[in-house]
Structures are given as C-alpha cells and as structure tokens.
Amino acid sequence: MNILITGGSGFIGSHLSKLYAQKGNNIFIIDNLLTGNRKNIQSIPSGSLIFFEQDLTTFNLTKLPHIDICYHLASPASPVQYKKHPIETMRVNSEGTYRILELCRNKGCDRMVLTSTSEIYGDPLEHPQKESYWGNVNTLGDRACYDEAKRYAESISMTYHRSFDIDVRIARIFNTYGPNMELNDGRVVSNFIIQAIQNNPITIYGDGTQTRSFCYVEDMVSGLVALGETEDIQGDVINLGNPDEKTVLELAEIIKDMTDSTSEISFEGIGEDDPKKRKPDISKAQKVLKWEPKVPLDQGLQKTINYFESELNKQN
C-alpha cells in the first residue's frame, strides 16, 4: 500500500512510519520538522520511504502517487510546543486537514485517519471520558490554539464525510509516551525522566493531584493501525489511550524510584486551563477495533528511561 503520514518524523508518526515500512509498504512523509526530527526515521530503508521536508499547508500534493491511507498526524502536540507555535498549530490542523480532505475528494487518497486528541474534552466535567462527551474547552485560553483547531479538524472531517462520502476515521489520542520524544518536548513523562536521570528537581506544576492516563507509544501505534485498517467504520470517532490513571505526583514518585534518583520534588505554578482529570473510556475501541493497550506503565517507562539515558549520553 501507499501510506501517507503527515508528521511522520515526529514522536508517534515515526513509530507508525517504521511499522508500515517493516510491513513492506511505501511510505510518504510530509513534515516541516517544526517539532519532528529526521533521526527518528533514519532506520527506515531509503527504498521504502519518500520524505518531503515541507509544510502541509503549502506542499504541492500533486507530487504524491495515489494514496491508500493517509494518517494525518502533523501538528505540535506538547503544550509547551503548541503554545510556542500557536499559529502553525492552528493552520496545520485547519488548512492542513482541509487539504488532505480535498485530496480524498479528488480521489488522490482513499482514506484519512485524523489524529485528534483528548484535549477536545478540555477540562472535562465527565470522568472517564467517552466519545459521546462534548467537552469543556475555553476558546480564549492559551491551550485553545490546539484544542479548538483539533475540534475544527474533527468537524470539517465529519462534514466532508457526510457531504462527499469521504472515508474518514478519527482517533482521539490520550497522553502517550515513549522513545522518540524530543529532549525539549516539555511533556510530563519526558520532563520527569530527564530531571530524574540528571538528579535535578522534578517540576510538578500545581499540587500534583491532577491526573493523566499514560499509553505506551507501541500500543498507540497498534491502535492507529487498527483504526486505519478496520473495514466499514468510516465516520467513527474512537478514543485511543491507556485507562491506567495516575496523579502527576504518583508519576513523579514512580520515575524517581525507577531511576534511583536523588531529585527533590519542586512544586511550581500551573498553566491556564490545565485539565484536572483525564482518563479514556476505551470500551468503543475494545468493541470496534478489538484493541486495548498491553504495555504496563512500569515496562513502558523502563524502555523510555533507557532511551533518554542513551540520548543524554550522546550529548556528553
């Protein structure tokens, strides 16, 4: 198959690209490297990959052959990164998504998997979050460039699906971690691991009672593939994540223990609209995709710690 992966050299995109390449497919990546990194896809044989270092909002899509499935992942996804690049975040999720949908309408691509996010639920008033929940998002806050852009991406995708019978599927991705997160990514798992390895203070924003549920990247990628390859689910939206919920303080203690770190815990100010609780209800994914995450937190964290140790060693 010809697989197009926008954002294919980013954190999740690079794992997806590798998996599809290993299965003998032709991979096409469009990535402007705003937050992605070419080193993440170095191991993919050049014969099975065509890489366009291009911005999706301006790339000439006629350069592509016929695409069987497009996985649309291009976007900053870490709060630190999308707050740093708010315009790019809004544009790639609005104009970028529109351009892939037009490609589908013009028969250049058979199917689009949109990667949306648990952030569309905002600071949720329903717990755990089911796909039927409409969310609680501040349109004016500094997270809105991501949350509202993804909400728009969902809406335009469903509009194209209804208007032109385009085969779209929507993944709402919950917190994911693992190798290929950037050292400067800024999300909680990578921050805590790097701080713990270096015995620097572990920065907890707020009092650490807020919760997240962490999914290992290998599980996330198998969920995305199931969503992309299951037949007759066009127009479906499905939560992908691991429901194993932890407070941020618990996560800090676990990572400190696993790294034998002497780091202090440092409590710092919390960002605007930081969700207090987040946990996916994955019953729809279990039923429709026959998918559920398999990697327990301690195993996933160990692999991620090993990755960051090796990345930090390369810097020394």
The catalytic residues are 146
Subset of residues 202 to 261 that bind ligand UDP, contact rule: CB under 6 A: 203-205, 210, 212, 248
Told to check if 265 binds ligand UDP by CB under 6 A, we report: no
Contact 192, 85 (CB under 8 A): no
**Residue 89 C-beta: closest distance to ligand UDP, Å:** 13
Subset of residues 182 to 211 that bind ligand UDP, contact rule: CB under 6 A: 187-188, 191, 203-205, 210
The smaller minimum CB distance to ligand UDP, of residues 236 and 250, is found at 250
Q: List the structure tokens of 52.
A: 């366009």
**Residue 79 C-beta: closest distance to ligand UDP, Å:** 5
- Binding-site size for ligand UDP (CB under 6 A) equals 14
CA–CA dist 233, 120 (Å, integer): 21
Give backbone dihedrals phi and psi of 60, rounded to 5 degrees, phi first: -80, 100
Largest Cα–Cα separation, the chain: 58
Q: List the structure tokens of 110.
A: 């058979």
Build a one-symbol-per-residue string for 39-78: x at contacts with ligand UDP by CB under 6 A, - elsewhere.
---------------------------------------x
Nearest to 99 by CA among 146, 51, 60: 60
Contact 192, 252 (CB under 8 A): yes
Q: Exactly one of 14, 75, 175, 261 binds ligand UDP (CB under 6 A); which one?
A: 175
CA–CA dist 240, 254 (Å, integer): 23
Subset of residues 3 to 22 that bind ligand UDP, contact rule: CB under 6 A: none
**Residue 47 C-beta: closest distance to ligand UDP, Å:** 36
How remote is the C-alpha of 223 from its chain's centroid? Answer: 12
Told to check if 264 binds ligand UDP by CB under 6 A, we report: no
Build a one-symbol-per-residue string for 76-95: x at contacts with ligand UDP by CB under 6 A, - elsewhere.
--xx----------------
- Separation in Å, CA 224 to CA 181, 206, 216, 229: 18, 32, 13, 9
Question: At 282, which amino acid appears?
Answer: I
Site for ligand UDP, rule CB under 6 A: 78-79, 175, 187-188, 191, 203-205, 210, 212, 248, 270, 274
